[in-house]
Amino acid sequence: MDNLTVKAPAKINLFLRIIKKREDGYHNIFTIFQKISLWDEITLAISKKERGICLECSDDNLPGMEDNLAFKAAKAFLDYTGIDYGVYIKLKKQIPIGAGLGGGSSDAAAVLKGLNKLSGGLMNSDDLNGIGCRLGADVPFFMHDAASAIGTGVGNRLKAIKIPLFHYLLVWPGFSISTKWVYEHFELTTRPLDTIFDAELALHVRRWTNDLEMAVTPIYPQIKAIKNRLMELGAETALMSGSGSTVFGVFSSAEKAKAAASGLVVRDNQRIYLTKALG
């Protein structure tokens, strides 16, 4: 049985503006993605003597096997290539679920790329990206080699960019937020859009913003409280990532991020993560 182990990194959104609602129900966005040093670990194995997909996961809170994005990615790969292999997936979760960090999408991308490598490169990058797009809007970013990128469309049109390698202190507040719920409760307002497509936004920390906070913070005041506390502890800025629930503070050095972490009081099921940008 051939096997390999890969890391599936988390992402944060340094900037997120909602442009308009599409006819298909999704939203066009302008975002800046950044991969960070927080990973799920995935072990993949294939066998030509066996059939079916087996998923073993360290987190019992994940969706059932056939609803898991890693499982869906493996099934999509087998369906597209037509190969009849047995696939075993062992998923060691570190990225919290429903946290705005793209853990499920990253797992899916890692499974697609890993199975392609194990099977001898049966699919080219365009085919893999096509499958990724169908699995989820964030999957194409994790398929991309770039550590940071501007995302437009539903986030699937990507342009690699260079961003200073900041350090990030992440606070997961102990609960998940449904992406579907957030978009359903977000009210799009009319605002001038003349500056949002400026890639230089990536270099101006104080201009980073997340439109979806408008839908989340009235219902989840903990998000705003965590943002305020991170700013008090010296963060250059603090934002909710994606549709939440994780909040991150931005720091110019690991020492400053560690000092801020020491000033946090961890409550209930909260978790904190000291991370840095991948470059």
- As annotated, the active-site residues are 11, 138
Of 100, 104, 99, 122, which is closest to residue 55 (Cα–Cα)?
104
Alpha carbons 232 and 103: distance in angstroms, whole number: 28
Q: Which two tokens stand for residue 249?
A: 């503070």
Strand ranges, E, within 97-202: 148-152, 157-160, 167-172
Cα 192 to Cα 32: distance, rounded to the nearest angstrom = 19
List CB contacts of 23: < 8 A, sequence separation 6 or more: none
**Cα separation of 144 and 129, whole Å?**
9
The residue among 268, 270, 273, 171 whose CA lies nearest residue 227 is 171
CB contact set of 263 (below 8 Å; sequence gap of 6+) = 233
Q: CA 41 to CA 146: how far, in whole Å?
A: 19
128 bridge partner residues: none
Judge contact between 76 and 21, C-beta under 8 A.
no
**What is the Cα gyration radius of the chain?**
19
> H or E element: which one contains 195?
none
State how far the Cα of 67 lies from the Cα of 88, in Å rounded to an integer. Answer: 16
